[in-house]
Amino acid sequence: NAGVTQTPKFQVLKTGQSMTLQCAQDMNHNSMYWYRQDPGMGLRLIYYSASEGTTDKGEVPNGYNVSRLNKREFSLRLESAAPSQTSVYFCASSEFGAGVYEQYFGPGTRLTVT
């Protein structure tokens, strides 16, 4: 049981390049999320998917797109990377039911845009 996995762990991009961050969970959770973490800012929500087939914008969606490929996988795409997107990106998944709300995080992807 791997929990939430993210690839790659590290990435360096040049301004204008594109890339996709991959996330997968094996806990059969319905909901998945992408956050970014910047120093002194805590974690801010980029996009989320409450259930398979749905996606919604979070607090900081500009410059990003997402795809909920199936129940397990939720990818984040940067179409044209900018230095302001240098950050640590965390994927998370959650389940709600019977009074339980659990949110689990992946190990993060450290992205640098030069």
With contacts defined by CB under 8 A, name the span among 11-19, 20-28, 31-39, 71-79 that binds other proteins: 31-39
The rounded distance, in Å, linking the Cα atoms of 90 and 46 is 10
Cβ proximity to other proteins: between 17 and 105 the closer is: 105
Q: Which is nearer to other proteins, 48 or 64 (CB)?
A: 48
Q: Which residues bind other proteins (CB under 8 A)?
A: 30-31, 33, 35, 40-45, 48-51, 58, 90, 92, 94, 96-97, 99-108
